[in-house]
Amino acid sequence: MAGGWSMGGLHMVKRSESRAPVYAPEVEPKALGFEVLMNLEVKTCQAPDCSPVIVKAPYVSEKMRTDVYEVEDKRHSLAGNPLAKELSEPRGEGLIPFPEQENVGSSISITVVGASGDLAKKKIFPALFALYYEDCLPEIVVVFDNARTKMNDEELTNTINRTLTCKIDKRENCEDKMDQFLQRCFYHSGHKWWTRVIVEKPFGHDSVSSGELTRCLKRYIIEDQTFRIDHYLGKELVENLSVLRFSNLVFQPLWSGNYIRNVQLIFYEDFADHLILVLVFRYFDNYGIIRDIMQNHLLQILVLFSMETPVSLDAKDIRNEKVKVLRSMSPLHLEDVVAGQYKGHNKGGMSYPAYTDDPTVPKDSLTPTFAAATLFINNARWDGVPFLMKVDKARHTKQSKFSSDMSQINSKIPGLGMRLDRSDLNLLYRGRYSREIPYAYERLLLDAIEGERRLFIRSDELDAAWSLFTPLLKKLEEKKIVPELYPYGSRGPVGAHYLAAKYNVRWEDLSGDD
């Protein structure tokens, strides 16, 4: 199975676990615009001397068959050799040192689809290395790449090497650990057997394509093997939101429309921060900011903020509550949405091009780079409370913030008088904890390895999220709604201010805005 649908997907095999056969009996070339490269029937077994059996199905290419057999041959030649020794020796062409589990204990094989891409460079490899550094991955870890661009081992390790950092300078043995980690990375363009697949967004384009994608995936893997990632769920602050809500009894009676008059979720980013702008634009212009950020990251935070207390911390119970609140949300109306696109302008001697000035973006593109929306939840707890979202890719600062008016508390200004000030009850870790914060992908990759599903999106949850946004996106696109233009680096279209004012709300604009 390959990754047009999940350009930053990871296919993972946990060798110490699930031995259930995975069947991929049907062929569906080019379904949904992605190539089904994987057409192998893969079976694994439990006998100590049993290698995976890889059975060729009718449509597997000659190249892939050769690759598969090469892997098997090498495996046999490694039988009985301690892996540690293999890994410390120079790697030969095509050698894939995959250990026999019974010799070495727990091991893991990870296939990164799209190692040359922005996501892999910025987030996946640094997270995998951080996990490796922290000894959270088994000693035996083998990372493969699997993109269309052909590389050799050296090119792959060079690519990965450029992405790795020691989060805090001069960490003990960091260089050595990096070398060890790189020794465990191999390029391979064929396909592996797997037990878990982490799927990166976009999960389709709308309800229909998302449903198709889910059905396609289900032909190869069951729901429990599918880990749909939304990396915002792996961020410390987002995790802390649930802790704040559910483990501080003082908040329980306050957490409703009786005390909270509005909730705001804000995301700002600077397009210019992206490493490979051309690729980013190409992807972005097909999706736009509503699909890229609102329908997933911000909606997930909104859901965690508003859902009822789950019966337990079990993934099933949490996800059931998330689905319930998503299904309670009112349809989004065009009047409650503002779409914007940045235009070119000059400021302070600087010249900023328009979104449509980019050569990869069509001149008449209506793709929003900014959006604001008001959402409502039709249940007793949140009746009438506006949840406002604002997302913008054309800021000079990168920030995300979620807040409610309850987080503003009165305090006395020091002095002899009695003057009051409103200060924020904030969850910021900066200044409070000296320990470093793990990357979101670090947490989520580890959860997937451990089979913890709590922070991943279940298919009915995804359906509910698309049901909410699809009618709106359809209207925007069918009516060819022209986005409001606004200058790069500004506060965005003026329409967003009217939208908030309609509900008697002032945006909690973030510091650093101009």
Nearest position to ligand NDP, beta carbon: 117
Kindly report the backbone phi and psi dihedral angles of residue 346, in degrees, each rounded to the nearest multiple of 5, phi listed first: -115, 135
Residue among 75 and 274 whose Cβ is closer to ligand LXAUTJHC: 274
Regarding 8 and contact with ligand NDP (CB under 6 A), the answer is yes
> Mutual orientation of helices 125-133 and 440-450 as an angle, nearest 10°?
70
Alpha helices in 118-222 (DSSP H): 118-119, 125-133, 153-163, 174-183, 207-220
Alpha helices in 350-486 (DSSP H): 440-450, 459-478
Find the catalytic residue in 76, 188, 297, 333: 297
Residue 405 CB partners (closer than 8 Å, separation 6+): 260, 261, 262
Q: Which residues bind ligand LXAUTJHC (CB under 6 A)?
A: 231, 269, 292
Q: Regarding beta strands 107-112 and 140-145, do their DSSP bridges make them parallel or antiparallel, or are they unpaired? A: parallel
Classify residue 100 by its DSSP letter: P
Out of ligand NDP, ligand LXAUTJHC, none, what residue 269 binds, judged by CB under 5 to 8 A for its kind, is ligand LXAUTJHC
> Mutual orientation of helices 207-220 and 459-478 as an angle, nearest 10°?
150
Report helix, strand or coil for 30. Answer: coil
- Computed over its alpha carbons, how large is the radius of gyration of the chain? 25
297 carries an active-site annotation: yes
Do residues 104 and 84 lie in contact, with contact meaning Cβ atoms separated by under 8 Å? yes
Out of ligand NDP, ligand LXAUTJHC, none, what residue 443 binds, judged by CB under 5 to 8 A for its kind, is none
Q: How far is the CB of 278 from ligand NDP (least distance, A)?
A: 9
Residue 375 CB partners (closer than 8 Å, separation 6+): 302, 329, 330, 332, 336, 386, 387, 388, 389, 468
Q: How far is the CB of 42 from ligand NDP (least distance, A)?
A: 19
Out of ligand LXAUTJHC, ligand NDP, none, what residue 114 binds, judged by CB under 5 to 8 A for its kind, is ligand NDP
In what helix (H) or strand (E) does residue 76 lie, and over which residues does it extend?
helix 62-78
Residue among 140 and 289 whose Cβ is closer to ligand NDP: 289
Among 243, 276, 482, 501, interactor with ligand NDP by CB under 6 A: 276
Out of ligand LXAUTJHC, ligand NDP, none, what residue 285 binds, judged by CB under 5 to 8 A for its kind, is none
Residue among 7 and 505 whose Cβ is closer to ligand NDP: 7
Do residues 24 and 57 lie in contact, with contact meaning Cβ atoms separated by under 8 Å? yes
Out of ligand NDP, ligand LXAUTJHC, none, what residue 2 binds, judged by CB under 5 to 8 A for its kind, is ligand NDP
Q: How far is the CB of 341 from ligand LXAUTJHC (least distance, A)?
A: 16
Residue among 292 and 447 whose Cβ is closer to ligand LXAUTJHC: 292
CA geometry: angle at 448 spanning 4 and 307, to 5°?
95
Q: How far is the CB of 231 from ligand LXAUTJHC (least distance, A)?
A: 6
Among 14, 192, 196, 231, interactor with ligand NDP by CB under 6 A: 231
Q: How far is the CB of 458 from ligand NDP (least distance, A)?
A: 19
Kindly report the backbone phi and psi dihedral angles of residue 466, in degrees, each rounded to the nearest multiple of 5, phi listed first: -70, -35
Residue among 274 and 381 whose Cβ is closer to ligand LXAUTJHC: 274
Out of ligand NDP, ligand LXAUTJHC, none, what residue 475 binds, judged by CB under 5 to 8 A for its kind, is none
Catalytic (active-site) positions: 297
* Residues near ligand NDP (CB under 6 A): 2-4, 7-8, 34-35, 113-120, 122-123, 147-149, 200-202, 231, 276, 279, 283
